[in-house]
Structure 1
Amino acid sequence: MGGPVEDSGRTPKVTGSVQDWTQLQIDCVRRWHDEPMANPYSGWLRWVCQQHAFNFELWHEEDVARNPSVTDARIAEVKRSIDRLNQQRNDWIEKLDDAITESIQQSSVVVAEDAPINTETPGSAIDRLSIMSLRLFHYAEQLQRQDVDAEHRSKVEARWLLCQVQHADLSASLQTLIDDIFAGRKRHKTYRQMKMYNDPSLNPEMSDS
Protein backbone atom coordinates (compact mmCIF):
# COMPACT_ATOMS: atom_id res chain seq x y z
CA MET A 1 0.00 0.00 0.00
CA GLY A 2 1.50 3.32 -1.03
CA GLY A 3 1.01 6.35 1.20
CA PRO A 4 0.37 9.91 0.05
CA VAL A 5 3.31 11.64 -1.57
CA GLU A 6 5.31 13.96 0.66
CA ASP A 7 5.25 17.70 0.01
CA SER A 8 8.58 19.02 -1.21
CA GLY A 9 7.56 22.68 -0.95
CA ARG A 10 8.12 25.14 1.82
CA THR A 11 6.84 24.63 5.35
CA PRO A 12 3.12 25.46 5.56
CA LYS A 13 1.52 27.83 8.02
CA VAL A 14 -0.52 26.16 10.74
CA THR A 15 -4.21 26.59 9.92
CA GLY A 16 -7.57 25.40 11.22
CA SER A 17 -8.56 24.02 14.60
CA VAL A 18 -7.70 20.74 16.30
CA GLN A 19 -11.22 19.60 15.43
CA ASP A 20 -10.37 20.08 11.73
CA TRP A 21 -7.22 18.01 12.12
CA THR A 22 -8.88 15.16 13.99
CA GLN A 23 -11.82 15.07 11.58
CA LEU A 24 -9.31 14.71 8.75
CA GLN A 25 -7.76 11.73 10.52
CA ILE A 26 -11.16 10.08 11.11
CA ASP A 27 -12.28 10.69 7.53
CA CYS A 28 -9.04 9.34 6.06
CA VAL A 29 -9.17 6.15 8.12
CA ARG A 30 -12.65 5.43 6.82
CA ARG A 31 -11.80 6.33 3.23
CA TRP A 32 -8.48 4.51 3.05
CA HIS A 33 -10.10 1.24 4.10
CA ASP A 34 -12.29 1.40 0.98
CA GLU A 35 -10.25 3.37 -1.52
CA PRO A 36 -6.58 3.75 -2.56
CA MET A 37 -4.70 6.04 -0.20
CA ALA A 38 -4.61 9.63 -1.37
CA ASN A 39 -3.87 13.03 0.13
CA PRO A 40 -6.24 15.62 -1.37
CA TYR A 41 -5.38 18.36 1.14
CA SER A 42 -3.10 21.36 0.87
CA GLY A 43 -0.85 23.26 3.24
CA TRP A 44 -0.86 22.30 6.90
CA LEU A 45 -3.68 19.78 6.49
CA ARG A 46 -1.63 17.99 3.85
CA TRP A 47 1.18 17.59 6.34
CA VAL A 48 -1.19 16.32 9.05
CA CYS A 49 -2.55 13.82 6.52
CA GLN A 50 0.96 12.70 5.53
CA GLN A 51 1.94 11.97 9.12
CA HIS A 52 -1.36 10.14 9.59
CA ALA A 53 -0.70 7.99 6.51
CA PHE A 54 2.42 6.50 8.06
CA ASN A 55 0.42 5.49 11.14
CA PHE A 56 -2.26 3.94 8.93
CA GLU A 57 0.28 1.81 7.09
CA LEU A 58 2.15 1.00 10.29
CA TRP A 59 -1.02 -0.22 12.01
CA HIS A 60 -1.76 -2.72 9.26
CA GLU A 61 1.80 -3.93 8.90
CA GLU A 62 1.86 -4.65 12.63
CA ASP A 63 -1.34 -6.70 12.19
CA VAL A 64 0.48 -8.82 9.60
CA ALA A 65 3.48 -9.23 11.90
CA ARG A 66 1.22 -10.76 14.57
CA ASN A 67 -0.40 -13.27 12.22
CA PRO A 68 0.79 -16.71 13.41
CA SER A 69 0.35 -18.26 9.96
CA VAL A 70 2.72 -16.01 8.00
CA THR A 71 6.16 -17.29 7.04
CA ASP A 72 9.42 -16.24 8.68
CA ALA A 73 10.45 -14.58 5.42
CA ARG A 74 7.27 -12.52 5.40
CA ILE A 75 7.80 -11.55 9.05
CA ALA A 76 11.31 -10.33 8.22
CA GLU A 77 9.94 -8.29 5.32
CA VAL A 78 7.21 -6.78 7.48
CA LYS A 79 9.65 -6.00 10.30
CA ARG A 80 11.79 -3.96 7.90
CA SER A 81 8.67 -2.18 6.67
CA ILE A 82 7.62 -1.41 10.26
CA ASP A 83 11.06 0.06 11.04
CA ARG A 84 10.90 2.24 7.92
CA LEU A 85 7.36 3.45 8.58
CA ASN A 86 8.05 4.12 12.26
CA GLN A 87 11.07 6.22 11.31
CA GLN A 88 8.96 8.20 8.82
CA ARG A 89 6.18 8.59 11.37
CA ASN A 90 8.60 10.08 13.90
CA ASP A 91 10.30 12.25 11.28
CA TRP A 92 6.92 13.76 10.45
CA ILE A 93 6.11 14.43 14.10
CA GLU A 94 9.21 16.63 14.06
CA LYS A 95 8.16 18.26 10.78
CA LEU A 96 4.80 19.18 12.28
CA ASP A 97 6.49 20.69 15.31
CA ASP A 98 8.95 22.56 13.08
CA ALA A 99 6.01 23.97 11.10
CA ILE A 100 4.47 25.21 14.34
CA THR A 101 7.78 26.90 15.22
CA GLU A 102 7.84 28.69 11.86
CA SER A 103 4.20 29.74 12.23
CA ILE A 104 4.95 31.19 15.66
CA GLN A 105 7.84 33.19 14.22
CA GLN A 106 5.76 34.39 11.25
CA SER A 107 2.98 35.48 13.61
CA SER A 108 5.45 37.50 15.73
CA VAL A 109 4.26 35.81 18.90
CA VAL A 110 5.81 37.28 22.04
CA VAL A 111 6.51 34.45 24.44
CA ALA A 112 6.43 35.27 28.14
CA GLU A 113 9.82 34.93 29.80
CA ASP A 114 8.42 32.54 32.38
CA ALA A 115 6.31 30.57 29.88
CA PRO A 116 6.50 26.86 30.70
CA ILE A 117 7.14 24.04 28.22
CA ASN A 118 4.48 21.36 27.87
CA THR A 119 5.43 17.75 28.63
CA GLU A 120 4.30 16.77 25.12
CA THR A 121 4.71 18.65 21.85
CA PRO A 122 1.72 19.34 19.58
CA GLY A 123 3.24 17.05 16.96
CA SER A 124 3.32 14.17 19.43
CA ALA A 125 -0.29 14.84 20.42
CA ILE A 126 -1.35 14.88 16.76
CA ASP A 127 0.40 11.53 16.38
CA ARG A 128 -1.46 10.10 19.38
CA LEU A 129 -4.78 11.35 17.98
CA SER A 130 -3.93 9.71 14.67
CA ILE A 131 -3.43 6.36 16.38
CA MET A 132 -6.61 6.86 18.42
CA SER A 133 -8.63 7.45 15.24
CA LEU A 134 -7.39 4.09 13.97
CA ARG A 135 -8.26 2.44 17.27
CA LEU A 136 -11.77 3.91 17.22
CA PHE A 137 -12.34 2.68 13.66
CA HIS A 138 -11.23 -0.86 14.40
CA TYR A 139 -13.20 -1.09 17.63
CA ALA A 140 -16.26 0.09 15.70
CA GLU A 141 -15.56 -2.68 13.19
CA GLN A 142 -15.55 -5.20 16.01
CA LEU A 143 -18.97 -3.98 17.11
CA GLN A 144 -20.35 -4.91 13.70
CA ARG A 145 -19.21 -8.54 13.89
CA GLN A 146 -21.93 -11.17 13.84
CA ASP A 147 -19.71 -14.10 14.87
CA VAL A 148 -19.07 -13.00 18.45
CA ASP A 149 -20.98 -13.43 21.68
CA ALA A 150 -22.55 -10.78 23.91
CA GLU A 151 -19.60 -10.76 26.30
CA HIS A 152 -17.17 -9.92 23.51
CA ARG A 153 -19.45 -7.20 22.17
CA SER A 154 -19.90 -5.71 25.65
CA LYS A 155 -16.13 -5.60 26.22
CA VAL A 156 -15.54 -3.97 22.83
CA GLU A 157 -18.29 -1.40 23.38
CA ALA A 158 -16.84 -0.39 26.76
CA ARG A 159 -13.42 0.11 25.21
CA TRP A 160 -14.84 1.99 22.22
CA LEU A 161 -16.69 4.38 24.53
CA LEU A 162 -13.57 4.91 26.65
CA CYS A 163 -11.53 5.61 23.53
CA GLN A 164 -14.07 8.24 22.52
CA VAL A 165 -13.68 9.95 25.89
CA GLN A 166 -9.89 9.82 25.68
CA HIS A 167 -9.96 11.14 22.12
CA ALA A 168 -12.17 14.06 23.18
CA ASP A 169 -9.97 14.79 26.22
CA LEU A 170 -6.75 14.80 24.21
CA SER A 171 -8.32 16.91 21.44
CA ALA A 172 -9.44 19.52 23.95
CA SER A 173 -6.05 19.51 25.69
CA LEU A 174 -4.23 19.94 22.38
CA GLN A 175 -6.46 22.87 21.41
CA THR A 176 -5.68 24.52 24.75
CA LEU A 177 -1.97 23.93 24.17
CA ILE A 178 -2.11 25.40 20.65
CA ASP A 179 -4.01 28.43 21.95
CA ASP A 180 -1.47 28.91 24.74
CA ILE A 181 1.49 28.57 22.38
CA PHE A 182 0.19 31.16 19.92
CA ALA A 183 -0.75 33.48 22.78
CA GLY A 184 2.79 33.24 24.20
CA ARG A 185 1.64 31.52 27.40
CA LYS A 186 3.52 28.29 26.60
CA ARG A 187 6.96 27.84 25.08
CA HIS A 188 7.24 25.54 22.04
CA LYS A 189 10.22 23.44 20.99
CA THR A 190 10.75 20.56 18.59
CA TYR A 191 12.18 17.63 20.53
CA ARG A 192 14.29 15.48 18.20
CA GLN A 193 13.57 11.77 18.34
CA MET A 194 17.18 10.86 17.57
CA LYS A 195 16.34 7.24 16.80
CA MET A 196 19.40 5.01 16.62
CA TYR A 197 18.12 1.76 15.16
CA ASN A 198 18.02 2.85 11.49
CA ASP A 199 21.41 4.58 11.53
CA PRO A 200 24.28 2.29 10.38
CA SER A 201 26.77 4.51 12.20
CA LEU A 202 24.96 3.96 15.51
CA ASN A 203 23.54 0.46 15.20
CA PRO A 204 26.36 -2.13 15.16
CA GLU A 205 24.01 -4.74 13.66
CA MET A 206 23.78 -2.61 10.50
CA SER A 207 27.51 -2.11 10.13
CA ASP A 208 29.59 -4.11 7.62
CA SER A 209 32.55 -4.11 9.98
Structure 2
Amino acid sequence: MNFTETAWQIFNQSIEDYHVFDHPDTLINNPYPKDSLERILYAKNWIDTVQWHLEDIIRDENINPADALQLKRRIDVSNQQRTDLVEFIDSWFLDKYKNITPKSNARINSETIAWAVDRFSILALKIYHMSLEAHRDSASEEHRLNCQQKLNVLLDQKEDLSTSISQLLTDIENGDVKMKVYKQMKMYNDESLNPILYQKEQK
Protein backbone atom coordinates (compact mmCIF):
# COMPACT_ATOMS: atom_id res chain seq x y z
CA MET A 1 0.00 0.00 0.00
CA ASN A 2 1.11 3.55 -0.62
CA PHE A 3 1.09 6.20 2.11
CA THR A 4 -2.45 7.49 1.60
CA GLU A 5 -3.89 3.98 1.50
CA THR A 6 -2.10 3.15 4.73
CA ALA A 7 -3.20 6.39 6.38
CA TRP A 8 -6.82 5.87 5.31
CA GLN A 9 -6.84 2.35 6.71
CA ILE A 10 -5.37 3.54 10.03
CA PHE A 11 -7.79 6.45 10.33
CA ASN A 12 -10.76 4.17 9.82
CA GLN A 13 -9.35 1.65 12.29
CA SER A 14 -9.11 4.43 14.88
CA ILE A 15 -12.69 5.54 14.17
CA GLU A 16 -14.01 1.98 14.47
CA ASP A 17 -12.06 1.41 17.68
CA TYR A 18 -13.46 4.61 19.20
CA HIS A 19 -17.03 3.64 18.38
CA VAL A 20 -16.75 0.34 20.25
CA PHE A 21 -17.53 2.38 23.38
CA ASP A 22 -18.48 5.66 21.62
CA HIS A 23 -17.51 7.92 24.53
CA PRO A 24 -14.97 10.80 24.56
CA ASP A 25 -13.47 9.56 27.84
CA THR A 26 -12.47 6.25 26.26
CA LEU A 27 -8.71 5.77 26.64
CA ILE A 28 -6.69 5.29 23.49
CA ASN A 29 -5.24 1.82 22.95
CA ASN A 30 -2.80 2.44 20.11
CA PRO A 31 -1.92 -0.91 18.47
CA TYR A 32 1.13 0.29 16.52
CA PRO A 33 4.83 0.13 17.48
CA LYS A 34 6.39 2.99 19.40
CA ASP A 35 7.98 5.71 17.20
CA SER A 36 6.33 4.35 14.04
CA LEU A 37 4.52 6.66 11.63
CA GLU A 38 1.50 4.35 11.88
CA ARG A 39 1.31 4.97 15.64
CA ILE A 40 1.44 8.74 15.06
CA LEU A 41 -1.33 8.59 12.45
CA TYR A 42 -3.55 6.51 14.74
CA ALA A 43 -3.02 8.99 17.59
CA LYS A 44 -3.75 11.90 15.25
CA ASN A 45 -7.10 10.49 14.19
CA TRP A 46 -8.00 9.50 17.74
CA ILE A 47 -7.64 13.14 18.81
CA ASP A 48 -9.81 14.20 15.86
CA THR A 49 -12.45 11.58 16.65
CA VAL A 50 -12.71 12.50 20.33
CA GLN A 51 -12.91 16.19 19.45
CA TRP A 52 -15.59 15.50 16.81
CA HIS A 53 -17.82 14.09 19.55
CA LEU A 54 -16.98 16.84 22.03
CA GLU A 55 -18.08 19.35 19.39
CA ASP A 56 -21.38 17.46 19.08
CA ILE A 57 -21.95 17.48 22.85
CA ILE A 58 -21.24 21.18 23.33
CA ARG A 59 -23.93 22.08 20.78
CA ASP A 60 -26.66 20.68 22.98
CA GLU A 61 -28.91 23.71 23.65
CA ASN A 62 -29.81 22.33 27.08
CA ILE A 63 -26.25 21.83 28.25
CA ASN A 64 -25.38 23.21 31.68
CA PRO A 65 -23.27 26.40 31.22
CA ALA A 66 -20.63 25.17 33.66
CA ASP A 67 -20.36 21.89 31.74
CA ALA A 68 -20.15 23.82 28.47
CA LEU A 69 -17.25 25.89 29.80
CA GLN A 70 -15.40 22.75 30.86
CA LEU A 71 -16.00 21.24 27.44
CA LYS A 72 -14.75 24.42 25.74
CA ARG A 73 -11.55 24.24 27.77
CA ARG A 74 -11.17 20.59 26.85
CA ILE A 75 -11.67 21.36 23.16
CA ASP A 76 -9.02 24.10 23.41
CA VAL A 77 -6.56 21.59 24.84
CA SER A 78 -7.49 19.10 22.12
CA ASN A 79 -6.92 21.71 19.41
CA GLN A 80 -3.44 22.41 20.76
CA GLN A 81 -2.65 18.68 20.90
CA ARG A 82 -3.89 18.32 17.34
CA THR A 83 -1.67 21.18 16.15
CA ASP A 84 1.35 19.81 18.02
CA LEU A 85 0.86 16.38 16.47
CA VAL A 86 0.45 17.81 12.95
CA GLU A 87 3.74 19.68 13.39
CA PHE A 88 5.34 16.48 14.68
CA ILE A 89 4.21 14.65 11.52
CA ASP A 90 5.75 17.40 9.40
CA SER A 91 8.99 17.03 11.38
CA TRP A 92 8.89 13.29 10.69
CA PHE A 93 8.68 13.88 6.95
CA LEU A 94 11.26 16.66 7.11
CA ASP A 95 13.69 14.18 8.64
CA LYS A 96 12.74 11.50 6.10
CA TYR A 97 13.53 13.78 3.17
CA LYS A 98 16.52 15.57 4.72
CA ASN A 99 18.98 14.09 2.20
CA ILE A 100 16.98 15.16 -0.85
CA THR A 101 18.34 18.25 -2.56
CA PRO A 102 15.52 20.28 -4.16
CA LYS A 103 16.02 21.42 -7.74
CA SER A 104 16.90 25.07 -8.31
CA ASN A 105 13.40 25.73 -9.62
CA ALA A 106 11.64 23.67 -6.93
CA ARG A 107 8.26 24.99 -5.86
CA ILE A 108 7.04 25.56 -2.31
CA ASN A 109 3.63 24.05 -1.67
CA SER A 110 1.08 26.25 0.12
CA GLU A 111 0.17 23.34 2.41
CA THR A 112 2.54 20.98 4.17
CA ILE A 113 2.16 17.20 4.03
CA ALA A 114 0.91 17.01 7.60
CA TRP A 115 -1.79 19.65 7.20
CA ALA A 116 -3.04 17.78 4.14
CA VAL A 117 -3.01 14.63 6.27
CA ASP A 118 -4.98 16.54 8.91
CA ARG A 119 -7.70 17.24 6.35
CA PHE A 120 -7.56 13.59 5.26
CA SER A 121 -8.18 12.47 8.85
CA ILE A 122 -11.14 14.81 9.26
CA LEU A 123 -12.50 13.62 5.92
CA ALA A 124 -12.47 10.03 7.18
CA LEU A 125 -14.68 11.17 10.07
CA LYS A 126 -17.03 13.06 7.75
CA ILE A 127 -17.44 10.01 5.52
CA TYR A 128 -18.00 7.67 8.47
CA HIS A 129 -20.72 9.84 10.01
CA MET A 130 -22.35 10.85 6.72
CA SER A 131 -22.60 7.17 5.81
CA LEU A 132 -24.37 6.51 9.11
CA GLU A 133 -26.87 9.25 8.30
CA ALA A 134 -27.37 8.02 4.75
CA HIS A 135 -28.40 4.63 6.13
CA ARG A 136 -30.15 5.64 9.37
CA ASP A 137 -33.44 3.74 9.59
CA SER A 138 -35.08 6.32 11.85
CA ALA A 139 -34.49 9.13 9.35
CA SER A 140 -36.82 10.08 6.51
CA GLU A 141 -36.18 8.89 2.97
CA GLU A 142 -35.53 12.50 1.97
CA HIS A 143 -32.90 12.83 4.69
CA ARG A 144 -31.16 9.62 3.64
CA LEU A 145 -31.11 10.63 -0.03
CA ASN A 146 -29.77 14.06 0.83
CA CYS A 147 -27.02 12.52 2.96
CA GLN A 148 -26.18 10.01 0.22
CA GLN A 149 -25.63 12.88 -2.21
CA LYS A 150 -23.33 14.56 0.32
CA LEU A 151 -21.55 11.26 0.92
CA ASN A 152 -20.89 10.91 -2.82
CA VAL A 153 -19.23 14.34 -2.84
CA LEU A 154 -17.12 13.43 0.20
CA LEU A 155 -16.01 10.20 -1.49
CA ASP A 156 -14.95 12.18 -4.56
CA GLN A 157 -13.08 14.55 -2.29
CA LYS A 158 -11.34 11.59 -0.66
CA GLU A 159 -10.04 10.39 -4.03
CA ASP A 160 -8.87 13.88 -5.00
CA LEU A 161 -7.15 14.56 -1.69
CA SER A 162 -5.51 11.14 -1.71
CA THR A 163 -4.15 11.82 -5.19
CA SER A 164 -2.95 15.30 -4.18
CA ILE A 165 -1.07 13.99 -1.14
CA SER A 166 0.55 11.22 -3.20
CA GLN A 167 1.59 13.73 -5.87
CA LEU A 168 3.05 16.06 -3.25
CA LEU A 169 5.13 13.24 -1.76
CA THR A 170 6.36 12.24 -5.22
CA ASP A 171 7.26 15.84 -6.07
CA ILE A 172 9.23 16.20 -2.83
CA GLU A 173 11.05 12.90 -3.45
CA ASN A 174 11.93 14.06 -6.98
CA GLY A 175 13.12 17.46 -5.80
CA ASP A 176 10.35 19.31 -7.63
CA VAL A 177 8.89 20.67 -4.38
CA LYS A 178 10.92 22.07 -1.51
CA MET A 179 9.63 20.94 1.85
CA LYS A 180 9.46 23.90 4.17
CA VAL A 181 7.71 23.80 7.54
CA TYR A 182 6.34 26.75 9.47
CA LYS A 183 5.15 26.41 13.05
CA GLN A 184 1.59 27.59 13.68
CA MET A 185 2.70 29.81 16.57
CA LYS A 186 -0.77 30.01 18.05
CA MET A 187 -0.89 32.86 20.52
CA TYR A 188 -4.11 32.40 22.46
CA ASN A 189 -2.86 29.41 24.48
CA ASP A 190 0.46 31.07 25.37
CA GLU A 191 0.39 32.91 28.71
CA SER A 192 3.19 35.21 27.52
CA LEU A 193 1.41 36.20 24.28
CA ASN A 194 -2.31 36.33 25.11
CA PRO A 195 -2.95 39.76 26.75
CA ILE A 196 -5.92 38.42 28.69
CA LEU A 197 -3.64 35.86 30.32
CA TYR A 198 -0.49 37.89 30.90
CA GLN A 199 -2.38 40.96 32.18
CA LYS A 200 -4.07 38.65 34.69
CA GLU A 201 -0.65 37.46 35.86
CA GLN A 202 0.56 41.05 36.31
CA LYS A 203 -2.31 41.99 38.63
**Shared fold (TM-score, shorter chain, > 0.5):** yes
More displaced, 45-54 or 194-203? 45-54
Residues 194-209 of structure 1 mapped to structure 2, 5 A cutoff: 194-207=185-198, 208=200, 209=202
1:146 maps to 2:142: no
Q: Which residue of 2 aligns with 1:187?
A: 178
Distance 2:124 2:110 in 1: 22
Offset of residue 23 of structure 1: 1.3
Match for 1:55: what amino acid? Answer: D
TM-score by length of 2: 0.90
Q: Which residue of 2 aligns with 1:168?
A: 159
Offset of residue 98 of structure 1: 0.7
Offset of residue 17 of structure 1: 1.7
TM-score by length of 1: 0.88
Q: Is the 8 A contact 1:121 1:189 kept in 2?
A: yes
Offset of residue 122 of structure 1: 0.5
Distance 2:117 2:154 in 1: 15
Q: Is the 8 A contact 2:18 2:46 kept in 1?
A: no
Q: Which residue of 1 aligns with 2:12?
A: 26
Q: Is the 8 A contact 1:97 1:189 kept in 2?
A: no
Offset of residue 19 of structure 1: 1.0
RMSD, aligned CA: 1.4
| Gap regions ≥5 residues in structure 1 | 1-14
More displaced, 52-61 or 67-76? 52-61
Distance 1:172 1:16 in 2: 11
Residues 63-74 of structure 1 mapped to structure 2, 5 A cutoff: 63-74=56-67
Match for 1:178: what amino acid? Answer: L
- Aligned pairs, how many? 193
| Gap regions ≥5 residues in structure 2 | none
Please list the CA deviations of residues 146-171 of structure 1 after superposition, one character each: whole Å capped at 9, or x if unmatched: 22211111110001111011011101
Q: Is the 8 A contact 1:196 1:202 kept in 2?
A: yes
Q: Is the 8 A contact 1:30 1:137 kept in 2?
A: no
Match of 1:84 among 64, 77, 80: 77
Offset of residue 16 of structure 1: 5.2
Q: Which residue of 1 aligns with 2:86?
A: 93
User: Would you tell me which structure has more helix in proportion to its own residues?
Assistant: 2
Please list the CA deviations of residues 151-195 of structure 1 after superposition, one character each: whole Å capped at 9, or x if unmatched: 111110001111011011101110110111112111101121111
Greater RCO (CA < 8 Å, at least 6 residues apart): 1
Q: Which residue of 2 aligns with 1:49?
A: 42
Please list the CA deviations of residues 73-115 of structure 1 after superposition, one character each: whole Å capped at 9, or x if unmatched: 010000000100001101111111111110112xx21211110
Q: Is the 8 A contact 2:89 2:114 kept in 1?
A: yes
1:34 match: secondary structure: helix
Please list the CA deviations of residues 117-148 of structure 1 after superposition, one character each: whole Å capped at 9, or x if unmatched: 11111000100010010111111111232222
Q: Is the 8 A contact 1:109 1:182 kept in 2?
A: yes
